[in-house]
């Protein structure tokens, strides 16, 4: 019952906020808007710029319709690209409803062994995706790095290159670097120690914005990632920021990073333009 109430409240928050965005954020105006709905410990980011709409993850069950309404309120008539970073329920929970509520051109997901994924949200996602693909949606399962451009945004997408034996789903997350207006934004799914340690020597990770991996769970590797990224802005998707390990937040503070959280009931909006990167909260 508690979970049902929480999902209902989260969905209502998204719908109310979407109504505000109709007035405040429609059109783009030559800027990239990155919107993080107030979903607590669940991931969703909506990127919108000049008619191009991209969604990275879909929160929990019950969040999908609200995410679709949010996309529409920003001015999107369709979703050009949906990234499913991995198959945990707090990343794919709203995917089935989103695929039903709005046209999605392309879905990207990691190509790893999903035979152990046994949750209702995943089954619902697969059924909705099958229907969407029959209607023209393209599914791309990534096992190699890929770079492509949508509008003014360039996406570099990094799937796992090996099979992980620990935290398989989390470590198999798609990692996405978005370049726009001379800024770089890095979305890291739920990657943990093994994957971070593999990536640190292999990629140029410096960025202006970081979606901190795995809801801010602390590890020495996570701190090393933060230092390698050295972001001026960051978001942590968490249920209660006071429960986060202080070593992780101190690492961000030590870099002077402006950190925002999804536990406050407010939507976090990151606006990216040529000369600025700044947050607002609604």
51: domain range? 2-274
Is there a contact between 263 and 40 (Cβ–Cβ < 8 Å)?
Answer: yes
Does 193 fall in a domain?
yes
Q: Is residue 182 part of a domain?
A: yes
In a domain, 281, yes or no: no
pLDDT per position as a tens digit, 243-256: 999 999 999 999 99
Beta strands (DSSP E) in 181-267 are: 183-187, 209-211, 233-236, 258-261
Q: CATH number, domain at 54?
A: 3.60.15.10
Mean pLDDT, residues 123-144 taken together: 98
Euclidean distance between CA atoms 81 and 6, whole angstroms: 28
Total number of domains in the chain: 1
Q: Is the pTM of this model over 0.75?
A: yes
Query: Mind listing the pLDDT tens digit for each residue in 12-34?
Result: 555 444 444 443 444 446 899 99
Query: What CA–CA distance (Å, rounded) separates 133 from 91?
Result: 20
């Amino acid at each position: 019952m508690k979970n049902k109430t929480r999902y209902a409240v989260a969905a209502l928050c998204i719908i109310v906020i979407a109504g505000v965005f109709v007035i405040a954020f429609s059109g783009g105006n030559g800027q990239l808007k990155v919107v993080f709905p107030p979903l607590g410990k669940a991931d969703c980011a909506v990127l919108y710029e000049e008619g191009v709409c991209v969604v990275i993850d879909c929160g929990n069950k019950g969040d999908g319709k609200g995410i679709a309404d949010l996309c529409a309120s920003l001015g999107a008539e369709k979703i050009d690209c949906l990234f499913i970073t991995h198959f945990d329920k707090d990343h794919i929970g709203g995917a089935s409803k989103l695929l039903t509520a709005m046209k999605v051109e392309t879905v990207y997901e990691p190509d790893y062994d999903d035979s152990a994924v046994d949750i209702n949200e995943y089954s619902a996602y697969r059924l909705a995706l099958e229907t969407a693909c029959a209607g023209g949606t393209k599914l791309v399962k990534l096992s190699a790095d890929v770079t492509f451009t949508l509008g003014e945004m360039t996406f570099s997408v990094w799937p796992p290159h090996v099979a992980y034996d620990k935290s398989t789903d989390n470590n198999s997350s798609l990692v996405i670097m978005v370049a726009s207006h001379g800024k770089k934004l890095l979305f890291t799914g739920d990657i943990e120690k093994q994957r971070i340690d593999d990536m640190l020597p292999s990629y140029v990770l410096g960025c202006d914005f970081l979606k901190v991996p795995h809801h801010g769970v602390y590890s020495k590797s996570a701190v090393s990632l933060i230092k390698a990224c050295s972001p001026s802005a960051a978001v942590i998707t968490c249920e209660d920021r006071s429960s986060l390990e202080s070593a992780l937040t101190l690492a961000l503070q030590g870099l002077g990073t402006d950190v925002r959280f999804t536990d406050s009931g407010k939507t976090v909006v990151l606006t990216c333009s040529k000369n600025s990167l700044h947050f607002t909260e609604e």
